């Protein structure tokens, strides 16, 4: 019997409701940081710095969300943002390496041919929870993700991949358009923080919960 994936959105919202500060505050900071990085001057070096900065912030939040799901799994009454960030930090190097083929390569492929890009993104979309939960290296995590997705491609595409695409779109659109639209740097930072906080927690938690179902580590079949 295949695991039921549909309720993951509801459970993601439940985690956000249970730990609103822990779920929303780091995401808002991610949005503000993404907007601030847009202030870096032009040039190739600045573009590289911008991309690296966004990648670091995003992958750290992904690892953080994995820690938050584990706290929810053990029914923790309270969670510490600082402690979760500290426990997430060691996974950052492996997540950054894995994100190059798992996110950057499918994005490039999508720019040329949509179907191959979405296929790659979906096969590798679970690399982050695999690294954070199973402690695998980048290449092994990609292989493990592909194995978990096999036979459930369309369900994973409609949940995890869709959530990831929306999250990345909101982060980049908020960072690039908030200030021109609002004509105020301060208002742009606030708007970017709110926009990302509204999307990133649900997206990151959804991907983690999909992993739970497919790996058999969920507390119950929902």
DSSP structure string for 136-164: --HHHHHHHHHHHHTT-HHHHIIIIIHHH
| Predicted pLDDT of residue 222 | 30
Centre a 10 Å sphere on the Cβ of residue 41 and count the other Cβ atoms it contains: 9
Query: Considering the domain boundaries, does residue 181 fall inside one?
Result: yes
- Give the contacts of 9 (CB within 8 A, at least 6 positions apart): 159, 202, 206
Query: Considering the domain boundaries, does residue 81 fall inside one?
Result: yes
Query: Considering the domain boundaries, does residue 179 fall inside one?
Result: yes
More confidently predicted of 113 and 183: 183
Query: Considering the domain boundaries, does residue 135 fall inside one?
Result: yes
What is the pLDDT averaged over residues 197-204? 94
| Predicted pLDDT of residue 34 | 80
| Predicted pLDDT of residue 218 | 47
| Predicted pLDDT of residue 116 | 75
Of 30-39, 47-56, 111-120, the one with minimum mean pLDDT is: 111-120
Q: How many residues does the chain have?
A: 222
What is the distance between the alpha carbons of residues 134 and 120, in angstroms, rounded to a whole number? 21
CB 105, CB 86: distance < 8 Å = no
Structure tokens at 123: 């096969």
Query: Considering the domain boundaries, does residue 110 fall inside one?
Result: yes
Query: Considering the domain boundaries, does residue 16 fall inside one?
Result: yes
| Predicted pLDDT of residue 194 | 92
| Predicted pLDDT of residue 176 | 78
pLDDT at 13 over 90: yes
| Predicted pLDDT of residue 41 | 56
pLDDT at 68 over 50: yes
pTM of structure? 0.85
pLDDT at 220 over 50: no
% of residues, the chain, pLDDT over 70:
84
pLDDT at 147 over 90: yes
Query: Considering the domain boundaries, does residue 2 fall inside one?
Result: no
- Domain range for 37 is 8-215
Query: Considering the domain boundaries, does residue 106 fall inside one?
Result: yes
- Give the contacts of 81 (CB within 8 A, at least 6 positions apart): 21, 22, 25, 26
- In total, how many domains does the chain have? 1
Helices (H), the chain: 8-18, 20-37, 44-73, 81-88, 92-99, 105-112, 114-123, 127-134, 138-149, 153-156, 162-182, 185-215
pLDDT at 153 over 90: yes
What is the distance between the alpha carbons of residues 219 and 222, in angstroms, rounded to a whole number? 9
The string over 121-154, giving b where at least 16 C-beta atoms fall within 10 Å of a residue's C-beta and e elsewhere, is bbbbbbbbbbbbbeebebebbbbbbbebbeebee
């Amino acid at each position: 019997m295949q695991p039921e994936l549909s309720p993951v959105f509801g459970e993601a919202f439940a985690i956000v409701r249970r730990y609103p500060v822990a779920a929303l505050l780091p995401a808002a900071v991610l949005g503000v940081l993404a907007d601030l990085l847009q202030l870096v001057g032009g040039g190739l070096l600045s573009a590289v710095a911008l991309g690296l900065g966004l990648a670091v912030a995003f992958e750290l939040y992904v690892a953080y969300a994995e820690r938050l799901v584990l706290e929810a799994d053990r029914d923790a009454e309270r969670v510490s943002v600082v402690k979760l960030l500290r426990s997430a930090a060691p996974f950052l190097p492996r997540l950054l390496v894995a994100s190059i083929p798992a996110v950057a390569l499918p994005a490039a492929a999508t720019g040329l041919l949509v179907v191959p890009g979405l296929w790659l993104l979906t096969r590798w979309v679970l690399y982050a929870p695999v690294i954070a939960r199973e402690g695998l290296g980048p290449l092994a995590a990609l292989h493990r993700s592909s194995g978990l997705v096999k036979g459930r491609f369309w369900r994973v595409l409609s949940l995890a991949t869709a959530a990831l695409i929306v999250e990345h779109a909101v982060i980049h659109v908020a960072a690039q358009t908030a200030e021109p639209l609002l004509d105020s740097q301060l208002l742009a930072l606030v708007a970017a923080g709110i926009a990302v906080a509204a999307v990133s927690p649900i997206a990151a938690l959804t991907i983690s919960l999909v992993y739970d179902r497919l790996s058999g580590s969920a507390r119950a079949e929902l």
